[in-house]
Amino acid sequence: MISTPIYSPGDRWFGRINTALLVVFALCALYPIVYVTSLSVSSGDAATSGRVWLWPVEWTLSAHAHVLQDKLFWTSYANTLFYTVVGTLTSLALIIPAAYALSKPRLMGRRWIGFFVAFTMWFNAGMIPFYLNLGDLDLLDSRWGIVIAFAVNAFNIILMRNFFESVSPSFEEAARMDGANDFQILWQVYIPLAKPAIATVAMLCAIARWNGYFWAMVMLRDENKIPLQVFLKKMIVDINLTEEAAGAMATQAYSLETITGAIIVLSMIPVVIVYPMIQKYFTKGVMMGGVKE
């Protein structure tokens, strides 16, 4: 970037208009979130009569209280935490050693193994055989099924491998002089060096786990195993699209709208809080992978 130069009046106006437009865009990005949040803390009456458009009207926390009383909400929240933490750790445990091995030019058959991995990015059997396979393995309706079936993907291995390849071989040579083997070199030399890259891959895995709903919805029958996103889908999408349920639910204090808002807000809070801290890892992920895909 150029150090702020001296601008002509025309250029200064250009800068102002640009800034103003960006502010408008940023507000557009925020507005739906603000709207839903306001909805969630407004009275059911204000929400159904359409009086909420920006700030809360007739402030109340009854919708939030209603959601927090729902046992299934807490169960699904705990399930999501489990899937996110255990799922991410499983992913790292599988991805990091594989990526390290693939980054070594001396690995015989590296070209073929690399193809074996990368091929799955271009061609996969698709939804149906994948599902039938999970059935064969008895992983449907199982927590461990969710954890293991989505633990690895080729893209993350390649991301990690690219990083390991960029590490100077002199680190390995030095460790080898001291008599270290590959396991020790990975654990004591490469993993400490790769912390930022590992954080990036971990974040990619974690956010995918936190936000994923589709396969959990397809695989899990038992309500006690569903993650938050599946609970959300049941509560927001399924109910809203059947109108009778909507009428039945409304009371003075809360309505379907405010409940929807409250569920959205309560499930979004962790992401919105953590996101500014982890944002840089995603930016890095995009750069490392060339294109996020």
Partner 1 sequence: MSGAIESPATFVKQPVRASKWGEVIETMRRDWMLYAMLAPALIWFLIFMYKPMYGLQIAFKHFSAFKGIEGSEWIGFAHFMTLFHSDQFLRAISNTLVISFYSLILAAPVPILLALMINEVHSKGFRKTVQTVLYLPHFISVVIVAGIVIAFLSPTTGLVNTALRALGLEQVYFLTRPEWFRGIYISSGIWKEAGFDSIIYLAAIMGINPALYESAQVDGATRWQMIWRITVPCILPTIAVLLVIRLGHILEVGYEYIVLLYQPSTYETADVISTYIYRLGLQGARYDLAAAAGIFNAVVALILVLTANKISRRITRTGVF
CB nearer to partner 1: give 68 or 238. 238
CB of 244 to partner 1, least distance (A): 13
Measured distance CA(53)–CA(293) in Å, rounded: 36
Closer of 25 and 144 to partner 1 (Cβ): 25
Least distance CB 250 / partner 1 (angstroms): 10
| Shortest distance (Å) from residue 39 CB to partner 1 | 7
As measured in angstroms, the least distance from the Cβ of 65 to partner 1 is 19
Which three-class secondary structure string do you get for 68-96? HCCHHHHHHHHHHHHHHHHHHHHHHHHHH
Is residue 234 classed as helix, strand or coil in its secondary structure? helix
Q: CA gyration radius for the chain?
A: 25
Nearer to partner 1, 35 or 74 (CB): 35
Amino acid letter for position 117 = V
Count other Cβ atoms within 10 Å, centred on residue 12: 11
Angle at 207 between CA 32 and CA 221, to 5 degrees: 95
CB nearer partner 1, residue 83 or residue 100: 100
CB of 109 to partner 1, least distance (A): 6
Three-state secondary structure of 242-284: CHHHHHHHCCCCCCHHHHHHHHHHHHHHHHHHHHHHHHHHHHH
- Which CB, 95 or 202, lies closer to partner 1? 95
Please, which residue, 81 or 113, has the CB nearer to partner 1? Answer: 113
Among 217, 199, 208, 183, residue whose Cα is nearest residue 279: 199
Looking at the Cβ atoms of 21 and 68, the one nearer to partner 1 is 21
Rounded to a whole number of angstroms, the minimum distance from the CB of residue 193 to partner 1 is: 17
- Using CA atoms, how far apart are residues 140 and 146, in angstroms rounded to an integer? 8
Task: State the DSSP code for 198.
Answer: H
Question: Residue 201 CB, nearest distance to partner 1 (Å)?
Answer: 13
**228: which residues sit within 8 A by CB, 6+ positions away?**
76, 77, 79, 80, 210, 267
Give the shortest CB-119-to-partner 1 separation in angstroms: 7
Q: Which is nearer to partner 1, 72 or 137 (CB)?
A: 137
Contact, 258 vs 49, CB < 8 A?
no
- Which residue in the block uniquely carries the two structure tokens 């499930």? 267
